[in-house]
Chain A
């Protein structure tokens, strides 16, 4: 609790958390200085009989110093943010060879499209699973995300990952999970009255587990598709 970020399980976690804590320390110092200063001044300079306020209009040196210190501090924070941002969301940040999945958001569910046995996305043997994203651990993963109706936001707190998914646009969301386990996917953008229950899961498997799961699911999808050749999307 407190201001501690909960445990995270993606490669973004250490960098984003580090930045967060750096800012926490910097703002924390500013916070303490200002609040202590205010309380101290409130006591020290409270009106007392026989004492008059000091007649002064300002002090250029002091003002230049605190302006400069603030400016430099915030610029440093800005500069530190650049590489992390570029890594997560930069134009060409998606690593080559990342495993690709289709994610389609609609009121109020996340549909994940998996490459079938051929390992290729957007081929005939693709299959879909509702609200379930399964990925292998320690592999780069990219989600080709679209929205069918309104704006949703793909949010996995444990990955420190959030990306709005806008109808009419294709978003490429990538990450690399570092610990196996089930994690929750939430929708972070108000998308209608069912927004609060637009919940899904990402399950991070070890590679063997993942291969097994994929094979099972692909077979299952195949057998389901066989009887009626007309795909119901």
Chain B
């Protein structure tokens, strides 16, 4: 009993901090608080980006009809409740921008990068806690700037989330001046936050692993976050450079993208996609990592092919740099390059396929407990597969001639980003919620949310393949302008109604999230009986995380080790020597 007392003593010691409220919750340097701050910020942006999508869907489903509540919008956005084309392009642009940069990316990297890395590697905090705090507040200011764009004269940026020049560089051609400048400025500032965050994460993983936490004992979530951080570190500065050039073209008359003086519009596309393709892997790798963790725990089995999963992550990280041209097949780039980019793009499908098969292998002969996080994880595998397969169509250059810039692309990117990243995030949020707030989310409503989301999500995005194959262009304000699109109008209406239902369904998640925070069932240290280090500390984890620095003895996913009473062996628990599990010695 003496030892227990000592532990308790330690725990209270870790708790006893006399930081003021502001230091503890606002300008906190605790990685868990910063993570949750990032999470709340991004969830707000997620809701906002979703709201924009609803307006887009209204216009597409019911072109030219007054929007419900549309009369609340100023005349510059909707005349008599009917959306204007200039507002539509701003909506499309901001929906993409917000979702990619202010919702999914900060949820994956800001929330979970922060929350999980120190907890899972057995560190008391990040390597640079103050820089971490700065990173969050820089991101907030970028968000404020981005929002400001809605209220300026000329409206918000309207050149798509990809900001193709010269449209984005020429206020006289787009009708947007300050909005587009704010867009650039905000992305540059957000880039700084991301780079600081990535520096922090990489240093932390390299330097602050607990004793015994070797590289091949790191959970896949940490591997994925680590590689994604490297991609952030190296890709974001390219975007910053490009955005600075664009900002200069807009404001001080430089000529980077101005064809009249010898500048090159395609230079923007090369820079943007040289950043952009690594970026899409930043948006999926962490989700893949979370899903691996959740699936192993849910199936009570070690991850199938742990090592090849790591090599797949690494090779995706490498190959991601040599495929950017697949976004530019029809751009007028040298057609011979198109061939090279086809091959590299098809090759990147291989590690993605390996991961899918390994997830299935993990479920194979498991003992799967279908809790809400596990449902979302299986849903992730099912949906990501579809997105990966549709990618194959587009990587074939001739087929891409036809489907490029159609709704087929929109379907693809939503299957990987919503079906992939967001389902992965739902799995992660529901899985680690108890560690964040000390309470469980409601399982019943969690399952209702999952199933409704699954149904409506597919109702929204599956038909988009179809209208894409019929030539339906993306970023079109009014499809009824074209005769060949007229027969597709009922499909558009169906998609829109499904989208409204999908959006409404997310209310269940929001309520579950908020109510569980106060009323949820209290979670113990390890509600899922998982093996990760984070589960060895109280929920929520105290400032400083661990009562004493853990020592790691085992590979990350030692579930159902034969001959053991419990079906899980935590990483920091020494196995009975005589029956040491395989893989423990890695």
Name A's B-contacting residues (CB within 8 A). 1-6, 12, 15-16, 19-20, 23-24, 26-27, 30-31, 34-35, 37-38, 41-42, 45-48, 51-59, 62-63, 66-67, 70-71, 74-75, 77-78, 80-82, 84-86, 88-91, 93, 107, 149-151, 153, 155, 157-158, 160-169, 171, 184, 186-197, 199
Is B212 part of the contact surface with A, judged by Cβ < 8 Å?
Answer: no
Cα distance A2–B467 in the bound complex, in angstroms = 9
- Minimal beta-carbon separation of A169 from chain B (angstroms): 5
In the complex, which residues of chain A have a beta carbon less than 8 angstroms from the beta carbon of B404? 162, 188
The listed residue (B173, B366, B469) touching A149 by CB distance below 8 A is B173
A5 vs B483: C-alpha distance when bound (angstroms): 16
The complex places the Cα of A57 from the Cα of B481 at a distance, in Å, of: 57
**B399 adjacent to A1 (CB under 8 Å):** no
A-B pair count, CB < 8 Å, reads: 298
Q: Would you give the shortest CB distance from A67 to chain B, in whole angstroms?
A: 6
For the complex, give the distance between the alpha carbons of A222 and B291 in Å: 70
Please state if B164 and A3 are interface contacts (CB–CB under 8 Å): no
List residues of chain B with CB within 8 A of the CB of A107: 173
Contacts of B259 in A (CB 8 A): 166-169
Q: How far is the CA of A193 from the CA of B583 in the complex (A)?
A: 59
Main DSSP-derived SS at the A contact region: mixed
- Interchain CB contact under 8 A, B166 and A149: yes
Partner of A31, one of B164, B386, B402, B562: B386
Residues from chain B with a CB closer than 8 A to the CB of A163 are 330, 332
A107 and B174 alpha carbons, distance in the complex (Å): 10
> How far, in Å, is B569 (CB) from chain A's closest CB?
11
Contact status A45-B85, CB under 8 Å: no
**Ordered nearest first, which 10 A-B pairs have the shortest CB separation?**
A168-B259, A157-B471, A54-B365, A74-B346, A58-B305, A84-B398, A196-B477, A27-B389, A53-B560, A53-B367
From residue 164 to 180 of chain B, which have CB atoms closer than 8 A to chain A?
164, 166-167, 170, 173-175
**Contact status of A41 and B347, CB under 8 A, knowing A78-B342, A166-B331, A189-B405:** no
Interchain CB contact under 8 A, A30 and B389: yes
Nearest CB in chain A to that of B259: its residue = A168
The verdict on B336 contacting chain A, using a C-beta distance below 8 Å, is yes
- For the A-B complex with A67-B354, A184-B483, A195-B477 known, give 16 more contacts whose Cβ atoms are closer than 8 Å: A3-B469, A19-B399, A42-B370, A45-B367, A46-B370, A51-B367, A53-B301, A55-B561, A56-B304, A74-B349, A91-B336, A151-B167, A160-B402, A196-B85, A196-B477, A199-B481
Chain B interface size, under 10 / 10 to 19 / 20 to 34 / 35 or more: 35 or more
Q: How far is the CB of B305 from chain A (nearest CB, A)?
A: 4
Please tell me if B114 contacts chain A, counting CB pairs below 8 Å.
Answer: no
Q: Interface 1/0s, chain B 390-423, versus A by CB < 8 A?
A: 1011011111011011100000000000000000
Q: Given contacts A186-B482, A199-B481, is CB(A169)–CB(B332) below 8 Å?
A: yes
Partner of A20, one of B92, B370, B393, B562: B393
> A38–B174 Cα gap in the complex (Å)?
47
What residues of B have a CB within 8 angstroms of the CB of A71 in the complex?
A: 347, 350
Given contacts A45-B368, A78-B396, contact A16 B401 (CB under 8 A): yes
Q: Given A4-B469, A161-B401, A188-B406, does the pair A193, B332 have CB atoms closer than 8 Å?
A: no
CB-based contact A151/B173 at 8 Å: no
Contact between chains at A190 and B475 (CB < 8 Å): yes
CB-CB under 8 A from A157, the residues of chain B are 402, 470-471, 484
Contact partner of A77 (CB less than 8 A), chosen from B366, B392, B476, is B392
Say whether B332 contacts A166, CB under 8 Å.
yes
B357 / chain A contacts, CB cutoff of 8 Å: 62-63, 66
Task: Select one of B159, B353, B368, B469 contacting A42, CB under 8 A.
Answer: B368
Q: Which residues of A contact B476 (CB under 8 A)?
A: 195-196
12 A-B residue pairs with CB within 8 Å: A3-B469, A5-B469, A19-B398, A45-B367, A46-B367, A53-B560, A63-B308, A67-B350, A78-B395, A157-B402, A157-B471, A166-B332
Please name all residues of chain A whose beta carbon is closer than 8 Å to the beta carbon of B308 when the two chains form the complex: 58, 63, 67
CB pair B347–A38 under 8 Å, yes or no, is no
Q: By the criterion CB–CB under 8 Å, are A164 and B332 in contact?
A: yes
B448 in contact (CB, < 8 A): no
Nearest Cβ on chain B to A74's Cβ, whole angstroms: 4
B338 touches A85 (CB 8 A): yes
Q: Which of B474-503 contact A (CB under 8 A)?
A: 475-479, 481-484
- Chain B residues, Cβ within 8 Å of A51: 367
By a CB distance below 8 angstroms, the chain B residues around A24 are: 393
Contact of B367 among A48, A85, A192 (CB under 8 A): A48
Residue of B whose beta carbon sits closest to that of A163:
B330
Contact between B335 and A54, CB atoms less than 8 A apart: no
CB distance from B480 to the nearest CB of A (A): 10
Determine whether the beta carbon of A57 is less than 8 Å from that of B582: yes
Q: How far is the CA of A55 from the CA of B365 in the complex (A)?
A: 9
Contact A89 B85 (CB under 8 A): no
Q: Is the CB of A20 within 8 A of B399?
A: yes
Binds A, one of B12-20, B71-79, B377-385, B544-552: B377-385
Q: For residue A184, which residues in chain B have a CB less than 8 angstroms away from its CB?
A: 482-484
Q: How far is the CB of A159 from chain B (nearest CB, A)?
A: 9
Q: Which residues of A contact B406 (CB under 8 A)?
A: 188
A188 to B, closest residue via Cβ: B405
Given contacts A19-B398, A53-B559, contact A192 B175 (CB under 8 A): yes
Is there contact, CB below 8 Å, between B360 and A81? no
Pairwise interchain contact A192-B481, C-beta atoms closer than 8 A: no
List residues of chain B with CB within 8 A of the CB of A82.
339, 342
- Cβ of B266 within 8 Å of any chain A Cβ, yes or no, is yes
Contact B301 A56 (CB under 8 A): yes
B86 touches A (CB below 8 Å): yes
B339 surroundings in chain A (CB, below 8 A): 82, 85
* B63 shortest CB reach to chain A, Å: 10
Complex Cα distance A161/B260, Å? 28
Inside 8 A of B49's CB, which chain A residues have their CB?
A: none
Q: Are B385 and A34 in contact (CB under 8 A)?
A: yes
Contact of B385 among A15, A35, A78 (CB under 8 A): A35
Collect the chain A residues with CB atoms within 8 Å of residue B173's CB.
107, 149-150, 192
Q: Determine the residue in chain A with the shortest Cβ distance to B92.
A: A190
Cβ of B445 within 8 Å of any chain A Cβ, yes or no, is no
Q: Is the CB of A196 within 8 A of B363?
A: no
A-facing mask of B347-378, CB < 8 A → 1, else 0? 10110011011101101111111100000001
Chain A positions within 8 Å of B84 at CB level: 193
- Interface assignment of B264: CB less than 8 Å from any CB of chain A: yes
CA distance A107 to B406 in the complex (A): 20
Q: Which residues of B contact A193 (CB under 8 A)?
A: 84-86, 88-89, 158, 174-175, 477
